[in-house]
Amino acid sequence: MKNLHLYILPFFLIASVFSASGQNVTPNDTAFKKGYVQVSLVHPVGTGWKKSKARDYNFSLNLIYGHVGSVTGFELGLVNLAQRDVKGFQLGLVNVVKRNTFGFQTGILANVNLGDAAGMQLSGLWTHNQGSFKGFQFSWFGNTNWGDVYGGQLSHLWNHSNKNLYGIQFALGLNMARYNAYGIQMSATVNIAGKKHKGVQFGFLGNYAEESEGIQFGTVNIAKKSGGLQIGVVNYSGDSSVATIGLINIVKNGYNKLEIWGGELFSFNASLKTGGRKLYSILSVGGNPFNRNKFWGFGWGFGTHMRFSKRFYADIDQITSLVNVNEFISIGEGKTTILNQVRFMAGFELTPRIALFIGPVWNTLLSNNNTLHDSGTGLNNLNGIDLAPTFRTVYFRTGEFNFAIWPGIGGGIRFF
């Protein structure tokens, strides 16, 4: 990315040199005279001589470099320059159009349009439109548009819309809409919407939007203002109305709480809730020091917060935890135990930063641990590890897995 200008600069120089060669033809000229066929070696050496840049051709063949007024039909050459519009098909090593392009444009190295473009543009390296674009762009290196984009931009490194995007950007490098992005941005590294984003941003490393009302899915998601959904390892939003699902959620004025609570399987639990007011994520760890056998668990989940009055509220949480039995980590064939809990907690705020809560918990235990078995009285082993209360638990077995389902109760204290 440091040497990006070294790739782009030569094509701007080409466009500048070609533009200077056609100064005697201005956008205010009258309609070009009609010419059906033009063949040139290096302009002005050709069938049209200097007059070719003031004529509209149906067919233009440029062995090295050709300069025509406009094309309504087909143009082929190494370097093609059209003083005004191209309507139809243009194929060359480098294509330069000083006005608008409508149709199919293929530049083995580059396409440069100083006006608007509509249709399909393909290039092996780079495509640039000074105006807006409607249709489909594909370049191996990058696509740049100084105007709006309506359609699709695909490249292996860089897509840029200097105004708004209405459609799809796809790159293994960087996608950028300087103003608003309405649609889909996909990148293996970074997606940027300079102002508002509506749609889907997908980037394994990062997404950025000044204001997001869609879905951000990536390793790191950033939205200064967001009423949408963020899914990632790290999520940041300056708007508490955002819905977040991730390991680390940083939300200004969001739902950021620490809970210490107890249940039946784990007597002591600590849960960190971070995210927006609509949807937050939960990191949880728990253990039971009162059993002679050692087991503990850690898990992740999500939940939603509902407020009924200034002091009364309710949380609905779903937490899935890995239960580790008599070892630090119990995972793998013959020793995996998973606990899924759905909690319905009613809370009362003693102060704005401290609250008490209690409520029912629905527990589902799944285990293929060889040291546990269904003895008819519960999921326990010969040493008496009771992972489920036997008097109100439903047991069944599917293949290698034992299931235990039971209702329980939980409660604790919330801080912050």
Which three-class secondary structure string do you get for the chain?
Answer: CCCHHHHHHHHHHHHHHHHHHCCCCCCCCCCCEEEEEEEEEECCEECCHHHHHHEEEEEEEEEEEEEECEEEEEEEEEEEEECCCEEEEEEEEEEEECCCEEEEEEEEEEEEECCCEEEEEEECCEEEECCCEEEEEEECCEEEECCCEEEEEEECCEEEECCCEEEEEEECCEEEECCCEEEEEEECCEEEEEEEEEEEEEEEEEEEEEEECCEEEEEEEEEEEECCEEEEEEEEECCCCCEEEEEEEEECCCCCEEEEEECCCCCEEEEEEEECCCEEEEEEEEECCCCCCCEEEEEEEEEEEEECCCCEEEEEEEEEEEEEECCCCCCCCCCCEEEEEEEEEEEEEEECCEEEEEEEEEEEEEECCCCCEECCCCEECCCCCCCCCHHHCEEEEECCEEEEEEEEEEEEEEEC
C-alpha to C-alpha distances, 378 to 43, 327, 364, 390, 394, nearest whole angstrom: 91, 21, 13, 5, 9
What confidence tens digit (pLDDT) does each residue in 280-292 have? Answer: 999 999 998 877 6
- Indicate if the pLDDT at residue 272 is higher than 80: yes
Q: Average pLDDT for residues 160-174, to the nearest whole number?
A: 92
CATH 2.40.160 residue spans of the chain: 257-415
Q: Average pLDDT for residues 26-51, to the nearest whole number?
A: 77
Confidence of residue 389 (pLDDT cuts 50, 70, 90): confident
Query: In whole angstroms, what is the distance from residue 371 CA to residue 387 CA?
Result: 12
Residue 240, amino acid: S
Give the pLDDT confidence score for residue 377 in this predicted structure.
Answer: 42
Give the pLDDT confidence score for residue 166 in this predicted structure.
Answer: 95
What confidence tens digit (pLDDT) does each residue in 190-213 have? Answer: 999 999 999 999 988 899 999 998
- Indicate if the pLDDT at residue 25 is higher than 80: no
Confidence of residue 373 (pLDDT cuts 50, 70, 90): low
- Indicate if the pLDDT at residue 5 is higher than 50: no
Residue 30, amino acid: T
Give the pLDDT confidence score for residue 18 in this predicted structure.
Answer: 35
What token pair was written down for 237? Answer: 């939003």
Confidence of residue 371 (pLDDT cuts 50, 70, 90): low
Give the pLDDT confidence score for residue 364 in this predicted structure.
Answer: 92
Q: Average pLDDT for residues 306-324, to the nearest whole number?
A: 95
CB 217 within 8 A of CB 197: no
Give the pLDDT confidence score for residue 104 in this predicted structure.
Answer: 97
Give the pLDDT confidence score for residue 215 in this predicted structure.
Answer: 94
Q: What is the mean pLDDT of the chain?
A: 86
Q: Looking at per-residue confidence, does 348 or 400 come out higher?
A: 348
Check the CA dihedral 237-241-247-249 and report its sign: positive
Fold of 257-415: Porin (2.40.160)
Give the pLDDT confidence score for residue 32 in this predicted structure.
Answer: 66
CB 345 within 8 A of CB 317: yes
Query: In whole angstroms, what is the distance from residue 285 CA to residue 157 CA?
Result: 41
Q: Average pLDDT for residues 296-324, to the nearest whole number?
A: 95
- Indicate if the pLDDT at residue 168 is higher than 50: yes
Give the pLDDT confidence score for residue 83 in this predicted structure.
Answer: 93
Give the pLDDT confidence score for residue 54 in this predicted structure.
Answer: 87
Q: Is the pTM of this model over 0.75?
A: no
Where do we find the tokens 């608007």?
A: 116
Residue 45: count other Cβ atoms within 10 Å of its Cβ: 12
- Indicate if the pLDDT at residue 392 is higher than 60: yes
Confidence of residue 2 (pLDDT cuts 50, 70, 90): very low
Q: Average pLDDT for residues 225-233, to the nearest whole number?
A: 89
